[in-house]
Chains A and B, each alone.
Chain A
Amino acid sequence: MLTFATPFLWMFGSAFKTQGDIFAHAYPLTWETILPARPTLDNFASVIFGRGIGRNFLNNLIVAAAQVVLTLTVCAMAAYAFARLRFPGRDALFGLVLFAALIPFEATMIPLFQVMGILDLRSTYFALFLPWIANPLGIFLLRQAFLEVPRDYEEAAIIEGASRLQIFWNIVLPMSRPALITLVLLTFLWSWNSYLWPLIVMQDSSKQVIQVAIASFSAPEQLPSWGDIFAASALATVPVLTIFLLLQRYYVRGVAMSGLK
């Protein structure tokens, strides 16, 4: 637990230190290594008011929210089709979906960049989340969860005259809540922490995400603004830590349901 927490504590502690104090007590380890001896809010003021990090924070929220909602929608519908519907080539198609998960992003980055250009979506919020909403891992995760839902419930609903959509919405989704929440959590983390794709596709700095904005704090030949970097990193970490702590119990159950345990 201490090993896990120490980097976070150091980051949060350093966010409240002056530039000169950040590494001054790094070694040997004392309480001042983590906690600020002369706490200051200057770094937060600098990144919020000076660098306008709030705008980047908002961009992340917009992109992450859209990505979570659309990923959940697309993956759930695709997963249900793979889990319950019978159609020619279903298993082969599912195999292709899984195969897609094995292709590294770097191999698809340039073609994706070109596609975004063809669609005239570069430098839009859509470009930041649209390529990722049909998530192979998400489809796999939800398909495994949907397979765990007893067929008896669905058959009873069919006898009662329920449509596929009603079964999907009223039976399958509620019974797969841990897996859905797990996908929410994972998608939010992927989106929030994305760096290379926003760097490549976003040319409008007012729509840039917080991870790229933080990387821009350093200028060549200059001393990195350590205080600003730690303060912005601390701010960027808060949503991730919060959502993880809130949803972690579902995450464990969701992974267990998917058969990944």
Chain B
Amino acid sequence: MESPTRRLKSIVPALVVALLLSACAGATPTPTGAGVSSSPAGPSQTLTTAPVTLRILRYTATKAEEDLHASWIAEFKKDHPNITIEAEVVPFGELSNKIQASVAGGNPPDIFFIDGPNTKTYAYLKILRPLDQYLPAGFKADIVDATLEEQSYQGQLYSMPDRQTAPALFYNKDMLDAIGVKPPTKLADAWTWDEALKVWMQLKAKSPDVWPLEPSRFGAGGAGFYYRDGIFSRSAGDRSAPISSSLYKTFAAISPDGTTVQGYIDSPEAITAGKWFQDLTMVHAVTSKVGIPNAFLDKKAAMTIDHEGILGRMNTQYPNGGFNIGVTPMPYFKKPVVMTGSNASGISARSTHPAEAAAYLNFIYNDANRLRYWDANRNMPARKSLFDKLPAYKDYPLSMLKEQLLTIGAPRPPTPAWAIFDSIINAAIKDISLGAPVETTLHKAAVDVDKELAKYPK
């Protein structure tokens, strides 16, 4: 039976129209003005002293994060006794459904927590409001480049970055030691994909019952999650190549004006990378065609493409200490690249209390609270200056992950049509991993994506 979520996605185009009508129906409300006080909301913002209730929609988190959110609300209330904050919490995977329903239903919260790559979609649909006027001086310039690109639209920041991720190749050190391989620890020494494949073949020869590379744990499991699998094709490109070159297009995956992906996701380099990727399952059998939940942590796979969150998951599964885990920079074909992205939050375009909402966001995103946040989840911060305040990022392995984020991090292709782009390319990647002809599959995906891009005129 088709899942409710999947069925909901089928009505997204209709919902887009409804949202646009909804957004256009009323002018953006102005801040309330019944009395004012000095404000941390931004350069020229003032806060009302009248009673205000801010509604927040966010995703469920770990206990440590939940506790932190509760503390923030209590602390903010102490400084702003007239502002009451009500939080609604939903499963992370349902944020999009919930946001769209609440907006279309005319009942959006003041603050949304969202998946960062969806920022442009919500900005385009006028669900979120631009934040630049509310930001403290220097805040925007401090955001990691890839994050700033991901969470901006038409030059304005639309969502505040919670944290960042940038995947790398994690490995079971004991298994690598058994074949006498010491993977590089510096980005400058990163393997090429062919070098990685040689190691995987050695691992396979040594332990046939262990998958050299874990099938993706992302998405539905197995191949077909662009955040992870798109790295293969994008690393066959080169962001420093001329913008009209096929190499640049392969890296970019979408045209600069966001109108086409033909010649980008189906470039000659992307097709070659796609064939190489297909061989992992169809020829070399170094990774499973289907998902195997928890394979790496269960020691059924020797290596995995994941982000630093895996370190926390290791601690969850093995509270008394697991196996030795190592990490090596992401391999590449032409130039290293890692996909970035994580969670974020923004202010509803229809909020009647944007200054107060901004004050709350500026409070929870100030340096002190971001450091508390890092302490709760240990994911990379999304602002450059915070790395200097976290000594853990001075040494390997976190220093290497930080270097990847700052130097080879790239957001997923920036477009308001990201969700449907993701859906189409993921299906194509899955088909390719199961043996579909690479060139025709990628070309068809490109044509299909272009049709969707056309639905989002500038």
Among residues 65 to 109 in chain B, which have CB atoms less than 8 Å away from a CB atom of chain A?
65, 88-94, 97-98, 101-102, 104-107
For A222, the chain B residues whose CB sits under 8 A away are 62, 309, 312-313, 316
Among residues 203 to 225 in chain A, which have CB atoms less than 8 Å away from a CB atom of chain B?
203, 205, 212, 215-223, 225
A122 adjacent to B11 (CB under 8 Å) = no
For A22, the chain B residues whose CB sits under 8 A away are 294
* Stretch of A82-90, A109-117, A166-174, A234-242 that contacts chain B: A109-117
Per-residue CB contact flags for chain B residues 311-338 toward chain A (1 = under 8 Å, else 0) read 0110011100000000000000000000
- In the complex, whether B35 has a CB less than 8 A from a CB of chain A is no
* Stretch of A4-12, A33-41, A66-74, A192-200 that contacts chain B: A192-200
For B8, the chain A residues whose CB sits under 8 A away are 106, 196
- In the complex, whether A20 has a CB less than 8 A from a CB of chain B is yes
- In the complex, whether B42 has a CB less than 8 A from a CB of chain A is no
The 8 Å CB contact of B312, one of A113, A195, A203, A221, is A221
The 8 Å CB contact of A20, one of B92, B317, B342, is B317
- In the complex, whether B298 has a CB less than 8 A from a CB of chain A is yes
B61 adjacent to A196 (CB under 8 Å) = no
For B106, the chain A residues whose CB sits under 8 A away are 114, 117
For B175, the chain A residues whose CB sits under 8 A away are none
Instruction: Select from chain B the residue with minimum beta-carbon distance to A195.
Output: B4
A246 CB → nearest B CB, Å = 24
The 8 Å CB contact of B316, one of A19, A23, A114, A215, is A19
For A216, the chain B residues whose CB sits under 8 A away are 60, 89-91
B97 adjacent to A199 (CB under 8 Å) = yes
A220 adjacent to B88 (CB under 8 Å) = no
The CA-CA distance from A245 to B89 in the complex, in Å, is 35
A110-B105, A216-B60, A218-B60 are known contacts. Are A199 and B65 too (CB-CB below 8 A)?
Answer: no
A223 adjacent to B97 (CB under 8 Å) = no
Q: Which one of A27, A216, A218 has the highest number of Cβ atoms from chain B below 10 Å of its Cβ?
A: A216
A203 adjacent to B88 (CB under 8 Å) = yes
Among residues 268 to 297 in chain B, which have CB atoms less than 8 Å away from a CB atom of chain A?
292-295, 297
- In the complex, whether B172 has a CB less than 8 A from a CB of chain A is no
The CA-CA distance from A122 to B11 in the complex, in Å, is 23
B381 CB → nearest A CB, Å = 14
A110-B101, A117-B106 are known contacts. Are A218 and B92 too (CB-CB below 8 A)?
Answer: yes
Among residues 149 to 198 in chain A, which have CB atoms less than 8 Å away from a CB atom of chain B?
195-196
A104 adjacent to B7 (CB under 8 Å) = yes
For A205, the chain B residues whose CB sits under 8 A away are 88-89
- In the complex, whether A24 has a CB less than 8 A from a CB of chain B is yes
For A218, the chain B residues whose CB sits under 8 A away are 60, 91-93
B115 CB → nearest A CB, Å = 8
A196 adjacent to B105 (CB under 8 Å) = no
For A199, the chain B residues whose CB sits under 8 A away are 90-91, 94, 97-98
The 8 Å CB contact of B313, one of A104, A196, A217, A223, is A223
The CA-CA distance from A200 to B312 in the complex, in Å, is 31
- In the complex, whether B433 has a CB less than 8 A from a CB of chain A is no
For B309, the chain A residues whose CB sits under 8 A away are 221-222
B7 adjacent to A23 (CB under 8 Å) = no
Q: Which one of A195, A199, A226 has the highest number of Cβ atoms from chain B below 10 Å of its Cβ?
A: A199
B298 adjacent to A219 (CB under 8 Å) = no
Total interface residues on A, CB under 8 Å, equals 35
B62 adjacent to A219 (CB under 8 Å) = yes
The 8 Å CB contact of B101, one of A107, A195, A200, is A200
The CA-CA distance from A27 to B165 in the complex, in Å, is 31
Among residues 18 to 32 in chain A, which have CB atoms less than 8 Å away from a CB atom of chain B?
19-20, 22-24, 26-27
The CA-CA distance from A23 to B92 in the complex, in Å, is 23
B98 adjacent to A200 (CB under 8 Å) = yes
The CA-CA distance from A242 to B357 in the complex, in Å, is 48
Instruction: Select from chain A the residue with minimum beta-carbon distance to B309.
Output: A221
For B298, the chain A residues whose CB sits under 8 A away are 20, 23-24
B104 adjacent to A110 (CB under 8 Å) = yes
For B307, the chain A residues whose CB sits under 8 A away are 221
The CA-CA distance from A24 to B298 in the complex, in Å, is 6
The 8 Å CB contact of B91, one of A107, A117, A203, A212, is A212
The CA-CA distance from A23 to B307 in the complex, in Å, is 21
For B293, the chain A residues whose CB sits under 8 A away are 23, 26, 226
Instruction: Select from chain B the residue with minimum beta-carbon distance to A123.
Output: B88
The 8 Å CB contact of A215, one of B10, B11, B65, B94, is B94
Instruction: Select from chain A the residue with minimum beta-carbon distance to B297.
Output: A223
A114-B105, A218-B92 are known contacts. Are A23 and B294 too (CB-CB below 8 A)?
Answer: yes
For A20, the chain B residues whose CB sits under 8 A away are 297-298, 317-318
- In the complex, whether B345 has a CB less than 8 A from a CB of chain A is no
For B15, the chain A residues whose CB sits under 8 A away are 110
For B165, the chain A residues whose CB sits under 8 A away are 221
Per-residue CB contact flags for chain A residues 40-54 toward chain B (1 = under 8 Å, else 0) read 000000000000000
13 of the cross-chain contacts (CB-CB < 8 Å) are: A23-B298, A26-B292, A106-B7, A110-B18, A113-B101, A196-B8, A199-B91, A199-B94, A212-B91, A219-B61, A219-B62, A221-B342, A226-B294
Chain B residues with a Cβ under 8 A of chain A? 4-5, 7-8, 10-11, 15, 18, 59-62, 65, 88-94, 97-98, 101-102, 104-107, 165, 292-295, 297-298, 307, 309, 312-313, 316-318, 342-343, 377, 379
With A22-B294, A113-B102, A205-B88 given, can you name 8 additional A-B contacts, CB distance below 8 Å? A107-B11, A110-B18, A196-B97, A199-B94, A212-B91, A219-B62, A221-B379, A223-B316
Among all A-B residue pairs, the 7 with the closest Cβ atoms: A223-B313, A221-B309, A113-B105, A196-B4, A215-B91, A216-B60, A23-B294
